[in-house]
Amino acid sequence: MPAAPLAALAAAAGMILCTPGAAKVEGDMIVLGAAVSLTGKYSTNGKNTQDGYALAASRINELGGVKVAGKSYQLKILYYDDESTSARGAQLAERLISQDGVKFLLGPYSSGLTKAIAPVTEKYRVPMVEGNGADRNLFTQGYRYLFAVLNTSDYYLRSAITLAAENAQHAGKSPARMKVAIAVENDNFSQDVRDGVVEDAKRWGMQVVIDDKLPPELNDMSATLTKVKALKPDILVVSGHEKGAVLAVRQVAEMRVDVPMLALTHCDSAQIIEKFGKSAEFAVCGSQWDRSLGYRDRWFDSAEQYARRFEQQYHYEAPYQAAESSAAVLAFADAFERAGSFDPDKVRDALAATDLMTFYGPLKFDGSGKNIAKSMVLYQVQGGKFKVVAPARWASSRIILPAPRGRSASSTARPLQGGSFHDQSDGPSAGAGAEPATGG
């Protein structure tokens, strides 16, 4: 991009371009830094990330900025293009810290780039808040300066297990009698999804009767589905990115596999509704955020208001990658105010003590830097649309279990009444005194 338009973009977004000697605080400006994928294979989601950062910064500034020790400060964001490569991301993090004097970093897009940058920020004791690195291995390295507002990938479908268990309880049945089938691609993300499902299934006493790894090409899962027909599990979990979701919905329909719950990742980006119509009915799918959620904060008010503001500013629908990026900026703003200082260690300690509600959801970090307060969103396809069915407090519809045979709404399936889906930090519960799902 030519220098002049880039400068204009930066000015409009409340950012500053990369200039030598930038300090962490310049007069009444707090400077944050970010290496973001503006070119390369992650450029689309890199733009989502950058737009999320920019919208949050401009909104905070519009409301008067951040008040630290009695003085108000505006936010600026200094960023470079990491070109969607880990080596470049690490190099730019080093530059931001060592040359530009930036002491507060926002994360890049993707787990791979976050893994490359985290050792750099840790070395320099620079806090980094990120919203686009979900690999839970990031949080087993002992990093003290890394904080993530999103859920790790092992939580993508835990809520499906919880809802199925609660549905059994409401029907007077024991979750321990339920059987789970798992078929996931043999990659880090899907294996993380699988591990989370296995962990929660064990907590409820469920039996995992199928645990298959699918090859990377993901052209056929008929062998797994043949076992599903024979063993009749209550839940079939499939994770294989967009291709896995497409394959599962297509072959479940072709082979006439009747399973009470089909739980998937990447339903929306796989466009299962558009591609398969009624065959996609009643499938459930995990997501990080949705505009229909009832979360509220002092900056954007509601998730819906955030989505509208985003669309007005950037002329496309707000994806969850942008929402979680905005939440990362809000986490910094809140920490600055509570720390009452720009000392990186004091800000780091304030981040570690975060207990904040945002339009994106609650933020509260454990000792590894993971957000332990926010739940994944679970959709179910109902009437050709994705309906939020968990967490129950924010659900727009009740989940329908078991899925009608033949995936037709004319069967005897019923919505889960009084579902009590708990946040990821909670253990199994009988649902006594729990809040019922809202909506119809």
Q: What pLDDT does 409 receive?
A: 39
Residue range 262-274: mean pLDDT, rounded:
87
In the chain, the amino acid numbered 115 is: K
CA distance 85 to 99: 20
pLDDT for residue 7 is more than 50:
no
How much of the chain, in percent, has pLDDT values that exceed 90?
72
Confidence of residue 293 (pLDDT cuts 50, 70, 90): confident
Longest dimension (CA), the chain: 69
Confidence of residue 423 (pLDDT cuts 50, 70, 90): very low
DSSP 414-440: EEPTT-----TTS-----TTPPPPP--
Torsion angle of C-alpha atoms 194, 163, 110, 272, degrees rounded to 10: 90
pLDDT for residue 13 is more than 50:
no
Preceding peptide of 391 cis, ω within 30°: yes
Regarding beta strands 66-68 and 71-81, do their DSSP bridges make them parallel or antiparallel, or are they unpaired? antiparallel
H helices then E strands: how many in the chain? 13, 20
Q: What pLDDT does 207 receive?
A: 98
Give the orientation angle of helix 241-254 with respect to helix 188-203, to 10 degrees: 60
Indicate the CATH number for domain 155-287+376-415.
Answer: 3.40.50.2300
Q: What pLDDT does 407 receive?
A: 54
Q: What pLDDT does 406 receive?
A: 65
Query: Do 151 and 375 form a contact (C-beta atoms < 8 A)?
Result: yes
CA distance 281 to 380: 8
pLDDT for residue 430 is more than 70:
no
Q: What pLDDT does 264 receive?
A: 96
pLDDT tens, position by position, 317-359 = 888 889 999 999 999 999 999 999 999 999 999 999 999 999 9
Confidence of residue 41 (pLDDT cuts 50, 70, 90): confident
Numbered ranges of CATH 3.40.50.2300 in the chain: 3-151+291-363, 155-287+376-415
Topology classification of domain 3-151+291-363: Rossmann fold (3.40.50)
